[in-house]
Amino acid sequence: MGSRLIDLGLQPGIPPESWNTTHPEEIKKIHLEYYNAGSDIVLTNTFGGSRLKLEAHGHGDRVREYNTRAVEIAKNVCPPNAYIAGDIGPSGKFLPPVGSITEQELIENFTEQATILAEANVDLFFIETMVDLKEAEIAVNAAKKAVDIPVFASMTYKKTKRGFFTIMGNSIEQCSEVLEKAGTDAIGANCTISSEEMIDLIPLIANSTDLPIIAKPNAGQPQLVEGKTIYLSKPAEFTQDIQQMIKNGATIVGGCCGSNPKFISEISKKIKREKQ
């Protein structure tokens, strides 16, 4: 969603969620493009829709408005057999010793957003791009308490010489254990790494949990060209990698930064062709 909005003219410093009220037709068009491409689930334009994240842009008083409107827009175009996921991203704040936010403040932050999304009747929650396991656990707990619907949780890993870890040093095994205990219904990874790197990550996650596994890689590593961030991966090669991830254990697949409806269309066609 973020990279699609930037393509459409979203300016730096403007929260993407504000477009739910200022450019609702653009958000609707994006959702419709993905459904038409074959997406079974689309994520609401609420990745940065929590109070802590919106306060950083001076929009803290618009939490209910932005989140409620986001779900309404998605519902307007959601096909009968498809789903809407309430997207919840990181707060942008860090617990000690890195930052000064408290666990209670994070609980209140995620409880507020999850409750609003639940009241707007999302079909599931998608907690994604989490780099701090404790923050992810708090978000999952908040979502589970808000309403009895599925909760997906996706961490962001970096590949190091010692293996895959979050930037806070959380291992795959630690993340799976904590998130599974919190009641997560599906576990996985998204963002930061390319589809090629995620091929190696997925079997490691599969070895750490019996839950359904999510794979949502970037369309390659971002490159800065003439002041604009671009992603060099092509839909065909991305889809080949996704197919390998499925063989390695992934059951919920999609695309993160740099991907677009062309990527989803290619994935959908190949997966459905193999099932025939």
Q: Give residue-wise pLDDT tens across range 95-121.
A: 999 999 999 999 999 999 999 999 999
- Percent of the chain at pLDDT > 90 equals 91
Task: Using the predicted structure, report yes or no on whether residue 252 has a pLDDT greater than 70.
Answer: yes
Say if residue 276's pLDDT is above 80: no
Q: What is the three-state SS of the chain?
A: CHHHHHHCCCCCCCCHHHHHHHCHHHHHHHHHHHHHHCCCEEECCCCCCCHHHHHCCCCHHHHHHHHHHHHHHHHHHCCCCCEEEEEECCCCCCCCCCCCCCHHHHHHHHHHHHHHHHHCCCCEEEEEEECCHHHHHHHHHHHHHHCCCCEEEEECCEEECCEEECCCCCEHHHHHHHHHHCCCCEEEEEEEEEHHHHHHHHHHHHCCCCCCEEEEEECCCEEEECCEEEECCCHHHHHHHHHHHHHCCCCEECCCCCCCHHHHHHHHHHHHHHHC
pLDDT, mean of residues 176-204: 97
Give the pLDDT of residue 105.
Answer: 98
How does pLDDT run across 25-80, given as a tens digit for each residue? 999 999 999 999 999 999 999 999 999 999 999 999 999 999 999 999 999 999 99
pLDDT of the residue at 7: 86
pLDDT digits (tens, 9 = 90+) for 197-232: 999 999 999 999 999 999 999 998 877 777 777 788
Q: Which fold has domain 2-149?
A: TIM Barrel (3.20.20)
pLDDT at residue 228, as a whole number:
74
Arithmetic mean of pLDDT, 120-145: 98
How many CB atoms lie under 10 A from the CB of residue 182?
17
Tell me the mean pLDDT in the region 251-271: 95
